Amino acid sequence: MSDKPENMAIGVIAEYNPFHNGHAFHIRRAREMSGGPVVAVMSGHFTQRGDAAIMRKHARAAAAVKCGVDLVLELPLPCAVAGAEYFALGAVGILAATGVVGLICFGSECGDAELLAQYAARLTDGDVRALTKNIYQSGVSYPAARQRAMERAGLDGHILQTPNNILGIEYIKAINMLGAQITPISVKREGAAHDQAGAVGGVASASHVRALLLANEENQAAAYMPRAVFDIYRAEKQAGRAPAALENSERGMISYLRRLSPGDFARVADATEGLGDRIHAAVRRHNSLSAIYGAAKTKRYTHSRIRRIVLCAYLGLYAGARPASPPYIRPLAFNDTGRGLLAAMRGAAAVPVLTRPSAPCPSDAARELMRLEERATDLYNAALPAYELPAGEEYRISPVYIGGLGQTIYD
C-alpha cells in the first residue's frame, strides 16, 4: 500500500471540531507522504457524535485552509451524522467522485494501513459477519460482538477497541466496496487519545478543546490550536456565532421531539430493536437532553448512537434520506491550489460540482439533499449563542477563498 499515484491529490476525512494541533500534524505528514495537494472532506454543521459543531462549517473550513488544507469539501448531512460505516462510505465516495484524489491519509492508533486492511477484509467475510450477528444477538453491544468475532477468527481484538483504528478500517472497507482507485495510508496518532482530558506533548483531543471553549477557558484552549484557528474562533464568538451547542436550543428541540410518535423515531436509521420506542419514552419523561440520553442508554447501545438518533429525529432525517452515492460535490473553502483542483474537477468529477450556493440542483436526489441541508442550517443557527438570522442562510453563503496573502474572501 505504499505505492502512490503520481500527480494526484491526497484526501483526508475530518470534522475539525475544532481544528487543533493534532490535525495540523496530520496535514503536514499527509503532504510529506504524498508530495501533492490536500483535499479534506469535512462534516457540516452537525457531527457524528450527534451534536452541533462548535463553529459554522464555513468558518471551520476556512481555518483548515489557513492551516495547510488546499480544498475542503462538505460531507453530506446524512453521512456526517451516521455511524462509522456510513460516515466512511459517504466520505470516501466524495473523494472518489472528485476524480483528482489518489490517496487517503488517516490517523490511527496503530499507524499501519496494511494491518487495518487485513481487518477490513475479514470483517466483510461472510462467516465473520454471521458470527458477529450471532454474538450480538446474545445481548452485547455491536462493537463488543465484532471484537469477539475477530478474536475467534484469530486476530487481535484490541485493534477494534480504539476509534481511529475503527474508522481507518471503515475507510478501507469503503474503498473496497466502491472499487475506488485510491490507496490508503495511515499516520500514527500522536498526543492525547480520542476524548482524553488534558494534553500530551502539546496535543489535546478535540473534545477537550471544545470543553475548554464551552467553559470560556479560551486562553487554555489557544495553546492547543494553531493561531489562525483561534483567531477565527474569536471572531466568530465576537459575532455571536460561537460556541454553538444544542443546549442553546434545548427547549425548542425537546418541544418538537415531543410531537413525534414512536413510529417517527422508529423511522430514523439505526433506531432498530425497539430503540425508537425507548427514546420516545425518554423524550416524554425528561426535560433535558442529557437526561434523555441517559435514560435511553443501555450497555448494548452507545451514547453516541442515542445522540445521533435524537438529532436525526429533530432534523427530520430518516433512513430513506441516505443517498446511495453523493449526488453532487460541494466546496466549502479553498486556496489558489484548491481553485486549480476545482478547475480540474470540472472535467474529472463523476458528479456535478456546485460552487455557487444557489446553483440549480442537477437531480431529484440533489434537491432532496439540499432541502435537508437548508433545514439543518436553519436549526443549527438556533443553536448559536446570539446570532439571529432569517431562514434560508444556506443559499446565501458562498465557498470561502483564502487568497495568496491569507485574506478571507467570500466569492
Q: pLDDT digits over 235-280, tens only?
A: 999 999 999 999 999 999 999 999 999 999 999 999 988 999 999 9
- Residue 193, pLDDT score: 64
User: Per residue in 42-55, pLDDT tens?
Assistant: 999 999 999 999 99
Q: Which carries the bigger pLDDT value, residue 80 or residue 190? A: 80
- Indicate whether 112 pLDDT > 90: yes
76 secondary structure, DSSP code: P
Distances, alpha carbon 196 to alpha carbons 191, 204, 206, in Å: 10, 8, 9
- pLDDT > 90 in the chain, percent: 78
Predicted pLDDT at 360:
84
**In the predicted structure, residue 68 carries a pLDDT above the cut 50:** yes
Of the candidates 270, 262, 325, 207, the one whose C-alpha atom is nearest the C-alpha of residue 81 is 270
| Interval 139-195: pLDDT, tens | 888 888 999 999 998 888 889 999 999 999 999 999 999 999 999 999 998 776 676
Count of alpha carbons within 13 angstroms of residue 197, beta-carbon side = 2
B/e letters for 159-186, b = 16+ CB within 10 Å, e = fewer, are bbebbbbbbbbbbbbbbeebebebbbbb
**pLDDT 10s digits, 362-394:** 899 999 999 999 999 999 999 999 877 788 899
CATH code of 9-109+164-245+324-410, in short, is 3.40.50.620
Helix (H) or strand (E) holding 108: strand 101-108
Percent of the chain with pLDDT over 70: 95
For residue 117, pLDDT beyond 50: yes
Domain coordinates of the chain in residue numbers?
9-109+164-245+324-410, 120-161, 246-321
Residue 200 confidence (pLDDT): 80
176, HSE (Cβ side, Cα atoms, 13 Å): 17
Q: For residues 273 and 307, give the distance between their C-alpha atoms in angstroms, rounded to a whole number.
A: 16
